Structure 1
Amino acid sequence: MATRDKHLFLTGASGLLGRAIYKKFITEGWVIYGTAYTRVAEGLHKLDLTDENEVKKAVIQFKPSFLIHCAAQRFPEKVDLDPEGAENININASRYLAQVVDCIQVPMLYISTDYVFDGKSPPYAVDAVPNPLNLYGKTKLNGEEVTLAFGKGNIVLRVPVLYGPVEYVAESAVTVLLNSLLQTDKPCKISNYELRRPSHVDDIADICLQMAMKRLEDENICGIFHWCGKEVFTKYGMLVQIARVFHLPYSHVTPDSNLPSATTPTPRPYDTTLDTSRLEQLGIGYHTPFNVGIKSALQSWIR
């Protein structure tokens, strides 16, 4: 690939996944225009993705060869608390980006979620009919729709719950479980019901890099793709793994195997296992064993 082709416009570059993607592409010699809004670290550009004019101006001036849209409101409860804000970032910003890359004929990769499915009939193929249970899943599905509507060569990559090196323990729904482990004086219950396949952000970053390189060489690399980790856990199962990796007590934590109430404010799907065969047929995909990934992610938080 020619050096001039290696120009990436990356939204959400200060986030959990964005940081991993930024690092991966930089090490492979790409020039990156990384955007952030509340956490503008060194080397990143402050950009309000809900400002259509600013978005289009930034993309056109940078002249990327590929765009990855990571930025999102990805916490379901926060989406419920601020549906308008979530719609702006998850749907409207996706539309602005898709429109501008369509104008300059550049492919876009949109990071989506397994929460577009209801979790009742896994594993989900790339052409399975989505049926999100919560507003978060609905906004991400709408973001997929605008991404694919404005650019026939665009890519949607659906991924599950992510974890990796965090700036604060609650940055990931996986690493936040450490808080319950460390608070040994506070007995608590952790869900032992919903099944999850956590993925390390470094694995997703590697997949994004491979997809970008393949897409720039082959216009048929487009549409919907899936990836998820190879190991299945409940939240309690992940907590037990973390406890074992760091030799922490967990007798104060009780597994809650009850079916979540239908009246739960933000319902979660039961099992959103994704069929990853479309990516694997391209020779793309890597899985970091959970005990290895979680050790590197949380080591600095263990005193």
Structure 2
Amino acid sequence: MPGSQFSVLQEDVCVPSRRVLVTGATGLLGRAVCREFQNSGWWVVGTGYRRARPRLLRCDLLDEDAVRTLVHDYKPDVIVHCAAERRPDVVERHTEAAVNLNVHATATLAKEAAGSGVFFLYISTDYVFDGRNPPYGEDDSPNPLNLYGRSKLEGERETLRHCPGAAVLRVPVLYGEVEFVAESAVTALWPRVQEGAAESCTLDHCLQRFPTDARDVAAVCRKLSERGIQDRSIRGIFHFSAKERMSKYEMAVAMAQAFNLPSSHLIPLTEQPAGSAVRPVNSELNCSRLELLGLSVEPRPFRAAITDCLWPFLPDKRWRQTVFH
């Protein structure tokens, strides 16, 4: 990897003393994590693969030699591992590829982090729980219902097996500053909201979710990392989640209200749809460990945050011209 790529997200003017390597930097959470660390004065190295773009490093996380070289060359203080196949239905269809990324690549990164003395932060999911007895604390026994949840749980175990000083951060469904509305399962509801009275639309009103802004998760990642490189007792499993419980139907209605749009065409569906991966009914996370350590943040209210995320996708296309500039 050419040395000229070192300044991936920061200019070569004043080299910050702390360095973070962010995998999956092309994704929703990865972008937010890169921005959060950079705004706090860290040297940020972001990686991607198929969607890698200028100023990011292209790295195949399944290539152990490439991962070893990456960690050796850039000598990060922290690795935040955001890269994952996070779509449960895709995991069901492409299990081998998903397991390779969610489990095997995680194990490789954890080994390299441990061997280099790097603080390793692995992003996991509330889907490691079955949703039958919420809220779930960090010490509650996982029981994932689908392959996605099982792959992420195995990623947790590989992380802590190879890198005992690592931290695992479990989070729920995320939304944020998306590049296209389908990038998040939350913002993907926006086109249905916009249909208005033209056509009725059924939306899940059975599964209870806790939609969380990726910017808030990124802030928690930074706080965990800053404390973790100073205090080696910061290790093991942590939970972070917004506090508003909402079904997809309720999210869509909130979006309609935020933009003064009609919602009468949105029809609540109270049974899980057939043909998709089974999801937990309510996998609410107890986040008290982070709060007691002073490492949490106050989650953004859904209605205000979703307005921030969706205004670039209003029908007036002129608004879009400034969203990523």
Q: For 1:148-190, what per-residue CA distance to the aligned partner results, in whole angstroms no more than 9, with x for missing partners?
A: 0011110000000000010110100100010111223332210
Alignment-derived partner of residue 295 in structure 1: 307
SS state of the match for residue 67, structure 1?
A: strand
The question of 1:118 aligning with 2:136 is answered no
Distance 1:5 1:198 in 2: 34
Distance 2:169 2:57 in 1: 24
Structure 2 gaps of 5+ residues are 1-14, 316-325
Query: 1:130 offset after TM fit, Å?
Result: 0.4
Counterpart contact for 1:12–1:35, Cα < 8 Å: yes
| 1:245 paired residue among 244, 255, 258 | 258
Alignment-derived partner of residue 70 in structure 2: 58
Counterpart contact for 2:68–2:112, Cα < 8 Å: yes
| 1:105 paired residue among 117, 123, 145 | 117
Query: 1:265 offset after TM fit, Å?
Result: 3.4
Structure 1 gaps of 5+ residues are none
Sequence identity of aligned pairs in percent? 42
Q: Tell me the TM-score normalized by structure 2.
A: 0.90
Counterpart contact for 2:16–2:42, Cα < 8 Å: no
SS state of the match for residue 268, structure 1?
A: coil
| 1:270 paired residue among 272, 277, 281 | 281
Query: 1:284 offset after TM fit, Å?
Result: 1.9
Provide the aligned C-alpha RMSD in A: 1.2
Alignment-derived partner of residue 245 in structure 2: 232
Q: Read off the aligned partner of 1:269 and give its amino acid letter.
A: P
Alignment-derived partner of residue 206 in structure 1: 219
SS state of the match for residue 132, structure 2?
A: coil
| 2:294 paired residue among 278, 283, 286 | 283
Alignment-derived partner of residue 220 in structure 1: 233
Query: 1:39 offset after TM fit, Å?
Result: 1.8
- Equivalent pairs, count: 299
Q: Read off the aligned partner of 1:242 and give its amino acid letter.
A: M
Query: 1:95 offset after TM fit, Å?
Result: 0.5
| 1:41 paired residue among 33, 48, 53 | 53
State the 4+ residue runs in structure 1 displaced beyond 3 angstroms.
none
Query: 1:34 offset after TM fit, Å?
Result: 0.5
Counterpart contact for 2:17–2:43, Cα < 8 Å: no
Q: Read off the aligned partner of 2:133 and give its amino acid letter.
A: S
Q: For 1:182-231, what per-residue CA distance to the aligned partner results, in whole angstroms no more than 9, with x for missing partners?
A: 22333221011111111101100100010000001100000000011011
Counterpart contact for 1:67–1:109, Cα < 8 Å: yes
Alignment-derived partner of residue 176 in structure 1: 188
Alignment-derived partner of residue 91 in structure 1: 103
Counterpart contact for 1:116–1:131, Cα < 8 Å: yes
The question of 1:165 aligning with 2:177 is answered yes
Q: Tell me the TM-score normalized by structure 1.
A: 0.96
